[in-house]
Amino acid sequence: MSRHVLLVARAVTHHGGEATVRRLAVDVAAVVGAPVVACFLDGAAPSLHDALDAAADAGATEVLLVATHLPPDRYLDTWLRRAHADWAAGRRNPPPTSVALPLAEQPALVTAVVAAVGGPVTPLTGRPGPFRAAAWTAVPRHRHHVLVCRGPRCTAYGANDVAGALTGRLAAHGLGDDDVLVTSTGCLFPCSIGPVVVVHPDDSWYPHVDVGLAVRIVDEHLCGAGPLDGRPPRAGGTGDFADAAQVDRAED
């Protein structure tokens, strides 16, 4: 039996922690003697969908998902199940998949905390860096502000590639933050039309963005004549994407 373990984390709410989860995966793999991979529900690559694909393509006969965040994260626990169900529905003969007790609820966590309390300590002295700085008090200069949704659905639909394509294309045009400030966000709410990209101050919302459309947004909107045609209508009627977002928030 080939068992693959996926450590599932959230990068949107724990920005910059991806490297820690990846190191944890390497250390765990050395102990359990099985493939262990770090993946992300939102905000970073590989997505949970991509990691599940890779495990299945590698011949996994069983996949185990482990939620890695501390403290317990109900959002992560809920959405990794939703994401797996969506992935399995589109995959022929998906391998059996289980979910472990979240890391935050493992009994051994108490032992780890006790070891930290009774272990070596480092006194805090001096000033390692300013808590506030002048550079963090002013809004950055920019002509356009581009928001890239990196929520769970948009990540599953390819938002990681979209974010890379946008930043890469802007760099190819020689455009930096003073021209176009790109910000990855959590859920922007019209989830079912993702990946979603928003361009301000033009108030332009782009649905179903793939790498090709991301390139067009840079070439034609940000460097060209303005917003592209075919943008989605605004919320206002029953059944629109705002109503769908309200349903999802109620379920979370």
Two domains, one topology: 3-105 and 139-251: no
Identify residue 220 by its one-letter amino acid code: E
Which CATH number describes the domain made up of 139-251? 3.40.30.10
The pair of three-digit structure tokens given for residue 196, joined into one six-digit string: 């979603």
CATH class of 3-105: alpha beta
Report the candidate in 147, 143, 203, 202 with the shortest Cα–Cα distance to residue 178: 143
Query: Residue 243 — pLDDT band, cuts 50, 70, 90?
Result: very low
- Per-residue model confidence as pLDDT tens digits over 35-94: 999 999 999 999 999 999 999 999 999 999 999 988 888 999 999 999 999 999 999 999
The pair of three-digit structure tokens given for residue 183, joined into one six-digit string: 């910000």
* SS3 track for 15-67: CCCHHHHHHHHHHHHHHHCCCEEEEECCCCCCEHHHHHHHHHHCCCCEEEEEE
Find out whether 72 and 43 touch, Cβ atoms under 8 Å.
Answer: no
pTM surpassing 0.75? yes
* SS3 track for 95-158: CCEEECCCHHHCCHHHHHHHHHHHCCCCCCCCCCCCCCCHHHCCCCCCCEEEEEECCHHHHHHC
Query: Residue 161 — pLDDT band, cuts 50, 70, 90?
Result: very high
- As a whole number, the mean pLDDT across the chain is 88
Question: What is the rounded average pLDDT of the residues 158-167?
Answer: 96
Query: Residue 252 — pLDDT band, cuts 50, 70, 90?
Result: very low
For 198, the 3-state DSSP assignment is strand
Please report, for the chain, the start and end positions of each structural domain, with discontinuous segments joined by +. 3-105, 139-251
What is the bridge-based pairing of β-strands 3-9 and 62-67? parallel
pLDDT number for residue 14:
66
Strand-by-strand arrangement of the 36-40 sheet: 36-40, 3-9, 62-67, 97-99
pLDDT number for residue 241:
39
